[in-house]
Amino acid sequence: MFVSSLIDRIVDAALAEDLEGGDLTTEATVPADARAVARAVARSELVVCGGDVFARAFYRVDPGVRVERLLDEGADAKKGDVLWVAEGAARSLLMAERTALNFAQRMSGIATLARRYVRALPAGSRTRITDTRKTTPGLRALERYAVRTGGAHNHRDTLGSAVLIKDNHIQAAGGIGVAIERARARAPHTSKIEIEVASLSELDEALAAGADIVMLDNFAPDDVVTGVARAKGRALVEVSGGVTLERIAELAGKGVDVISSGALTHSAPSADIALDLERLG
């Protein structure tokens, strides 16, 4: 899934937020030699995601904790399913509980929403559902993994990974044509040029300048149809802005190549996962 150093860096930062100064309640009430088992239970239907990060939260608190994964990443879980089981010192389980659940709930929530978007596509559709860079600062790697686990795709990971000329770039460069010309001159020969357009007239400018991909931003439904027709055979068409789950089938049916939605990450509700602890012995 990830290199362990990346997970450790993210998990350690989250644990530091919770455990600065220790865990007063746990240390005051739970004997040091008490052992327990904790079961992560789905409280609603969800797509399982984040098992490695969930486990790592416990390992970083106490390497002696054992975590078992009962359901695979990407599995559809129903209410009442046990996803993961952690066993070890009761104090360690309690100290890591909130951090482990925060990651698991966030990642499973994103994966669940991504799968809903993908399943909204018509059967046999070649339209691709992608995320955007609207991710939680510091958690992009985890959130993008969750999008993939749900069956959707990632857009560019960083500003250096692809050329995407947006409205403010156009303003700063002095126009659509000049922006594309400069990008073509500077970008590696392996890089495609994508540009965001806000109207059919801007689309025409972008196509005339040789854009490889055009992003139709907040286009009306009829203009999407016109835009797809004008770009056919000349550029890939991406639709973004105001994309809801209810519009996925409609947009795919219009022949759109890519549907990008920031909602996959910035608006995904956390999955409902509880940790039920049982003392042993």
Distances (CA, A) of 259 to 62, 170, 216: 43, 22, 10
Cβ proximity of 213 and 194 under 8 Å: yes
Which positions are annotated as active-site residues?
98, 134, 166, 196, 217
Which one, of 144, 140, 139, 149, lies nearest residue 112 by Cα? Answer: 149
30 φψ region: left (φ > 0), alpha (ψ -120 to 50), beta (else): beta
143-167: b or e for each residue (b if 16 or more CB lie within 10 Å)?
bbbbbbbbbbebbeeeeeeebbbee
DSSP SS3 for 120: coil
DSSP SS3 for 147: helix
Which one, of 199, 198, 224, 197, lies nearest residue 213 by Cα? Answer: 197
Query: C-alpha angle 265/222/155, rounded to 5°?
Result: 25
Cβ proximity of 36 and 277 under 8 Å: yes
